[in-house]
Amino acid sequence: MSHLIAVSGKGGTGKTTIAALVIRELLARGDGPVLGIDADPNSSLADALGVSVRGTIGGLLKGFLLERDRLPPGMTKGAYLEMKLHEIIAEGGKFDLLAMGHGEGPGCYCAVNSQVRAFHEKLAPNYRYVVVDNQAGMEHFSRRVTPEIDTLFLIADHSRRGIRAARKIRDLAAEIGLSIRREGLIVNRVPGECDPSVMEDVQRAGLDLWGVIAEDPEVERADIEGTSLADLPSSNGSVAAIRDILGRRLNGASEGT
């Protein structure tokens, strides 16, 4: 059974960077294969990992709703969707990536979502880890497209507003009834030492602080130049921070638990 890691945070906190670095470190540890799921229409996990996306779930479903009455003879809707889903998986060596794309829009997609969920359940066991770069609203999970979360990384920037946003995401996950086995906070892009007022907000919010990552010129340069974060050296500060967090939080955790 695969271990599902979700990364969530408000826009601008660097959650896509964290998701990419988590995938990088899992592969460096020999914990592949890994499936990355880009569930935030506004993020660019594929770019951060240096792979090209051939299509998105959103685009596939839009096309399916237009073509569902003109499928090839003898092909069921489920078989057609599964074939198309395989076509849009981007391959990156020891990891694959699936992009969700934009929201579904009006209309009933219940049957289609059910098929996507069935595809995920069939696909996920082929991977040791599934890493989801999620949007702040947790919409991908609220539709139950994926099962319970084994590990949830809440990403905040170095501000009291960022900590409060992370708390709201945690509370939202509880409101929609998500099953989360473990969850923790990462404060990202910290300029020097953490401000005491920010740490006080972490305590007041009841968040478990798993790590602090400093501002990183190498990560910023990779973002500006459009280069893959997978190419960062093992000595890089952000890479080392993620290595430490995963070592403390995932070591000893069996797959799927």
- Among 76-80, 94-98, 242-246, where is mean pLDDT lowest? 76-80
Share of the chain above pLDDT 70, in %: 86
Comparing 186 with 12, which gets the higher pLDDT?
A: 186
Burial zone of 231 (CB within 10 Å; 0-12 exposed, 13-18 middle, 19+ buried): exposed
Report helix angle 57-67 to 110-123, nearest 10. 130
pLDDT of 251 > 90? The answer is: no
Residue 65's pLDDT is what? Answer: 77
What are the structural domain ranges in the chain? 3-249
Q: Are strands 3-8 and 95-99 parallel, antiparallel or unpaired?
A: unpaired
pLDDT at 256: 41
Tell me the pLDDT tens digit for each residue of 205-249: 999 999 999 999 999 999 999 899 999 999 999 999 999 999 999
CA separation for the pair 124, 146 (Å, rounded):
10
**Among the listed residues 12, 35, 245, the one whose alpha carbon sits nearest the alpha carbon of residue 125:** 35
Burial of 21 (0-12, 13-18, 19+ CB in 10 A): buried
Query: How much is the average pLDDT of 192-199?
Result: 93
List the one residue out of 241, 151, 224 whose CA is nearest residue 190.
Answer: 241
What is the overall mean pLDDT for the chain?
85
pLDDT tens column, 17-61? 999 999 999 999 999 999 998 887 776 899 999 998 888 887 887
pLDDT above 80 for 107: no
Q: Say which residue, 80 or 248, is predicted with more confidence.
A: 248
* Burial status of residue 113 (CB atoms within 10 A of its CB: 0-12, 13-18, 19 or more): middle
pLDDT band at 190 (very low <50, low <70, confident <90, very high): very high
CATH 3.40.50.300 fits 3-249, yes or no: yes
Output the pTM of the full model: 0.88
**Residue 257 confidence (pLDDT):** 41
* Tokens encoding 129: 């880890």
pLDDT of residue 147: 59
The edge-to-edge listing of strands for the beta sheet with 34-38 is 90-91, 95-99, 34-38, 129-133, 3-8, 149-157, 180-190, 209-214
Predicted confidence band at 94 (pLDDT cuts at 50, 70, 90)? confident
Q: What's the token pair of residue 232? A: 């960062």
Q: Do 230 and 45 touch, CB atoms closer than 8 A?
A: no
